Amino acid sequence: MLTGLILTGGFVLMAVLAPLFQALHLIADPQDILSSLPLEAPSPSHWFGTNVRGYDVFSRTLFGTQAALQVVILATTLSLVIGVPLGMISGYLGGKVDKCLLFLMDTLYTLPGLLLSITLAFILGRGLLNVAVAVSITYIPQYYRLVRNHTTSVKTELFIEAARAMGASPRRVLSRYLFGNVIQSVPVLFTLNAADAILILGGLGFLGLGLPEELPEWGHDLKEALPDLSTGIWWTTLFPGLFLTTLVVGISFIGEGVSELLNPRLRQQR
């Protein structure tokens, strides 16, 4: 987990410091086209070289961290805020409400996540918020199913029955007695979805459905650099791909660490 925190913290630090580095003229503007320097190899003036359009690869890779983290935070937060309450309400009330929500969520859950995100991104259009919404919808059923199953089992416990007998309203039972018991496994799912959201963002960018072309984003930059590999130009694909992979690995390590903290048996087995 410590390794994951260090890796992810490094990316967060880069995302925060990138605008400061640009303001101090330590790095180029990621949207500035250096027309006289297309496909220049890494050098002291351009640490990661330049791509076919003349963009500075280091600057675009660094600012691409911002886009990745913003989409991850928005997508996972939206899915959590929507999926968890729906799961609690569905599991607690049961009946027709539970059946309708379960049918809807099962329908979404059966669709491949990437395919659903591609379809939604195509409908909503490019943009940071649109991509985040498209990604978040694929995760809502996961939070719903997890929380609903926990709620269904916990609502039959004696302390819930006692709260009802004392006149506690459904809202009070959900917020005070159920929430703390069903939320324990959500952090693990949150970190797993965060790592997966980066891959989906990269896939959408690669297909041209992510952020606008002029904005730095790892998936789109990889798409632009794909033809360079056949000519021996390695730096335009190496650095965006390396950053994307490292961030996914870092968040995945955090997820494993959180899982071990919540379930000590996993640590003992390992």
Taken in order 254, 259, 265, 266, is the CA torsion positive or negative?
negative
Least confident of 52-56, 144-148, 259-263: 259-263
Average pLDDT, the chain: 87
The answer to whether residue 81 scores a pLDDT higher than 70 is yes
Check residue 263 and give its pLDDT. Answer: 66
Confidence class of residue 268 from pLDDT cuts 50, 70 and 90?
low
Q: Which domains does the chain have, with CATH numbers?
A: 2-6+51-269 (1.10.3720.10)
Pairwise CA distance, residues 33 & 214, whole Å = 10
Confidence class of residue 134 from pLDDT cuts 50, 70 and 90?
very high
Confidence class of residue 269 from pLDDT cuts 50, 70 and 90?
low
Confidence class of residue 2 from pLDDT cuts 50, 70 and 90?
confident
The answer to whether residue 267 scores a pLDDT higher than 60 is no
Kindly report whether the global pTM for this prediction surpasses the value 0.95.
Answer: no
Check residue 12 and give its pLDDT. Answer: 94
Check residue 143 and give its pLDDT. Answer: 93
Check residue 266 and give its pLDDT. Answer: 54
Confidence class of residue 270 from pLDDT cuts 50, 70 and 90?
low
What 3-state class would DSSP assign to 42? coil
Check residue 265 and give its pLDDT. Answer: 62
**Angle at which helices 95-110 and 57-93 cross, to 10°:** 150
The fraction of the chain above a pLDDT of 70, given in percent, is 96
The answer to whether residue 87 scores a pLDDT higher than 70 is yes
Pairwise CA distance, residues 108 & 238, whole Å = 35
Per-residue pLDDT reduced to its tens digit, 19-61: 898 888 888 888 887 767 788 888 888 889 888 888 889 999 9
252 CB-near residues (< 8 Å, 6+ apart): 4, 191, 192, 195
